[in-house]
Structure 1
C-alpha cells in the first residue's frame, strides 16, 4: 500500500495513531470472521438437512401418487409467513416463526377419509420448504458479511498494517540520519571554531 506521509514527527505520530487503530481492530475482525464462517456452515447444514427431509417426504408421497391425484389443492393455501429478525455476529438474519395457512371448508362426507391427513401433510411439506428457504437466505446474508469481513481482515493484515509500519520505519530512519548529520555538522563547526581559536591564540602569542 502506498502511504502518503512527510518526513517529520507530526506525520510519524499520525501514522502511529492509524497503525494502533488497525492493530486493535484486527483481532475483533478476525473473531467476527471466524464466527461468521461457523454460522454460514451451520445455516448451510440446516438447509441441507431440511432439503433431504423434504426429498424423503416427497418420495414417500410418490408411492401414493394415485391418491394425491384426487386431492383438491384449492382447499389449502399459504396466507402468511411470519418472520423475526435475529442478529448474528452483527448481521440481521431471518428466523421463521410461523406459517399461516388458509383452509377452505369442505364437506367431509363428500371427500375421501384421508383428506384431513392430506391437509396435514401439505402443511408439513410447506413448512419444511419455507424453513429451508429461510435458512438459505440466512446463509446468503451471513456469507456476504463474511466475505466483506475477510476482505477487511486481509486489507488490514496484508496491506495497511505493513504499509504503515514501513512508512514509520522510513520516517524514523530519515529523522535519525538527519539527527546524525546535524550532530556531525555541529561537531565540524565546533572543531573548526576550536581550530580558529587556537590559530588566533598562536598568532597573538607571536
Structure 2
C-alpha cells in the first residue's frame, strides 16, 4: 500500500465524490462509499484515469466489497435553480444520507464541503489518492454514464450515449438542429444562447 493511501485507511469513513459538473445536459451524480480497512481493493484510482471497460469491472468489485455505498443526484432543473456547485454539494449530501451504515466521518474530493452533520475532511485530488473517494468516483461515473445511455433512447439524435452530455461539437450541432430538451441545463451559457437564438428565430418568423 502506498503511504498516501495508508494515511486514509480507516474503517467507517465514507469517501464521497461527484461526477458531471461540466456537461450541458443530465444530472450531476454523487456517490458515497465505505470500504473495509483491509484488504485494500486494488486498482482504485480516479475514474477519469481508466477506460470504460475497466470502470465497469471496478464498479462491480466495489459494490461487492464495500461495507456500504449509495448513489444520489441533483437534476438539471435543480442545477438551474441552485447553480452547479450547490447542486453538486446537494447530491453528495443525499448520497451520504442514503448510506445504510452511518459513517464516523466523511472525506470529500475537492475543497468544497457539502453540509454534513459529521466530521468532514476535504481532499484536493482525493479521487486519485484516497481509496474510498476513488471508489465513489468510479461508481458515480458508471452510474451517470448508464443513465445518459438510457436518455439517449428517450432523446434520439443528440448522441447522449457517446458524449454523456458534454459540450462536444456533435452535441452542439444536435442542439442547433433539434433544440433544447428537458434534461439540458438552461443556466449554462451554450444552452441559454441556443434558447435565445430559437426565440429570436420564432419572433422573426412570426413578424414576417
TM-score (norm 2): 0.21
Higher helix share: 1
The higher radius of gyration belongs to: 1
Higher-RCO chain (CA-CA 8 Å, sequence separation at least 6): 1
TM-score (norm 1): 0.22
